[in-house]
Structure 1
Amino acid sequence: MTEAKNWLVTGGSRGIGRAVVEQATARGDRVAVFARKPASAQWTHPDRVVEIHTDIADPDSLARGVDIVFERFGSLDVVVNAAGVHRGGRIGDLSRAHWDEVIGTNLSGAFELARNVAPRLDAGSAIINVGAVVGFRGFPGDVAYGAAKAGLHGLTQVLAVELAPRQIRVNLVIPGFVDTDMTSALTGRARERILAAIPMGRTGLPEEIAQVVVGVADSPYMTGSVVATDGGLMSSFSSRR
């Protein structure tokens, strides 16, 4: 029987992060969940979940959270950076405050998380960042989110190279348009336009992305990879350029 792993999932109380937590705990692993708000629904395996109130945009809060995880678990095998915030607006409309909020959570938070956990990870550990198609393909009104997710791609590439000598893997999973609280705000023409661009003709499910995250976590020779799980959305955008 495979030995249980210890996970840390940011943004784990909802959406893709929560789906990752559920799939990891279903196979017997333990998961520490970083979230600013408690999970709204009961966990399927509550005895394998430790919720830690943490704001990853706050370096001090994040550092305290990481300390708690290692005090509870002793070690970590998989770190999933799924926390994210979206603030829409074209460059002429987006406020600087919203820009700073998006960059602070989606990019700077990922950097601080990696900086705090990397020195304590053992060989064979994995860091998985959750990106977005808009980090590779432009979409009007996503200037902050797109910039943050593009930066997350660059961060993943550099960390993969820096940490490879220690046999720590760093990869980027790219969800497409997934049914979550974040995307539920999109309605009308914006939603129709995105759906029309998805070759598979439907939105994704958090559970489908989580399956890929778990698979990447278990892949011992994968690092620096970009794994799109988007129903063909990136291919569609590329072919229409």
Structure 2
Amino acid sequence: MSTEERVALVTGGSGGIGRAVVERLAADGIAVAVHYAGHRDRAEQVVDAITGSGGRALAVGGDVADEVAMAAAFDAVVDAFGGLDVVVNTAGIMLLSPIATLDLADLDRMHRTNVRGTFVVSQLAANRLRRGGALVNVSTTVTRTQLPTYGAYAASKAAVEGMTLILARELRGRDITVNAVAPGPTATPLFLDGKDEATVRALAQASPLERLGTPADAAEMIAFLAGPGRWVNGQVLFVNGGFA
């Protein structure tokens, strides 16, 4: 599938998996909007790197759970590039605790970003994507592995999977694919924060490939769904090296 003149918006695109996705899509010749919530400088660094290499990119900001702010971000992308073909929703937070002792304020924070934020972005994508477009949300392998302390986070991502699969059916006749990618343990600041070396080593060895995933591993699958993977629709794809 030709990616000529295709345009993508990547939420959380200034770091981690989001940045890897931005760089991968830009390498495919797609114009990319790098979304940020609180790190405009990092987003602009990514934009500068892409435009410096001859690509097309811009930075757009906004709280993913704020429908007004995100509508303005979508408008900015369409105004700059003439349309929108791909939305990748990598923005998310992970706060770990046993369910019995979880601070409910942390539950609300994750719900706002991971659930409401994904819903807001998915709703906007459903109304803005052109024919032949693709929406890719991000879940997690922990929805299947049931690791202790991940209960609230896994619950938020199970909600992401549910809305993704239903939206794919609701967009019948629009020629728009809707899928979710569920990475396993991936070497990002979000995953590594608060984990000691022994824990990280054990999680790496749990995969038959005996390593952690990289942001590029997830980005490769997302780029496939954003471009040539037109017959994959309404699916959750696990990118975890056989971890689960």
TM-score, structure 1 normalization: 0.91
| Counterpart residue number, 1:203 | 212
Aligned-residue offset at 1:196: 3.3
Aligned-residue offset at 1:64: 2.0
**Aligned partner of residue 76 in structure 2, secondary structure:** helix
Q: Kindly tell me: are residues 2 and 182 of structure 1, through their superposed partners in 2, closer, same or farther at Cα, counting changes over 3 Å? A: closer
CA distance in 1, matches of 2:29, 2:165: 30
| Counterpart residue number, 2:42 | 40
CA distance in 2, matches of 1:40, 1:2: 26
Aligned-residue offset at 1:158: 0.1
| Counterpart residue number, 2:146 | 138
**Aligned partner of residue 50 in structure 1, secondary structure:** strand
Aligned-residue offset at 1:93: 1.7
Instruction: Indicate conservation of the 8 Å contact 1:128/1:170, yes or no.
Output: yes
Selected match of 2:163 from 155, 167, 176: 155
Q: Which amino acid aligns with 2:217?
A: E
Instruction: Indicate conservation of the 8 Å contact 2:192/2:200, yes or no.
Output: no
Selected match of 1:79 from 73, 78, 87: 87
Aligned-residue offset at 1:58: 2.4
Instruction: Indicate conservation of the 8 Å contact 1:128/1:171, yes or no.
Output: yes
| Counterpart residue number, 1:11 | 12
Instruction: Indicate conservation of the 8 Å contact 2:85/2:133, yes or no.
Output: yes
| Counterpart residue number, 1:58 | 66
Provide, for residues 184-204 of structure 1, a one-character-per-residue CA deviation record: whole Å limited to 9, x for no partner.
212244324322321211001
Instruction: Indicate conservation of the 8 Å contact 1:14/1:39, yes or no.
Output: no
Provide, for residues 1-52 of structure 1, a one-character-per-residue CA deviation record: whole Å limited to 9, x for no partner.
7513100000000011100101111222111121111253833313522111
Q: Residues 208-227 of structure 1: matches in 2 within 5 Å?
A: 208-218=217-227, 219-227=229-237
CA-atom RMSD in angstroms? 1.7
CA distance in 1, matches of 2:143, 2:70: 24
Q: Which amino acid aligns with 1:190?
A: T
Aligned-residue offset at 1:145: 0.9
Aligned-residue offset at 1:174: 1.3
Q: Which amino acid aligns with 1:208?
A: D
**Aligned partner of residue 234 in structure 2, secondary structure:** coil
Identity among equivalent positions (%) equals 37
Q: Kindly tell me: are residues 177 and 65 of structure 1, through their superposed partners in 2, closer, same or farther at Cα, counting changes over 3 Å? A: same
Q: Kindly tell me: are residues 207 and 39 of structure 1, through their superposed partners in 2, closer, same or farther at Cα, counting changes over 3 Å? A: farther
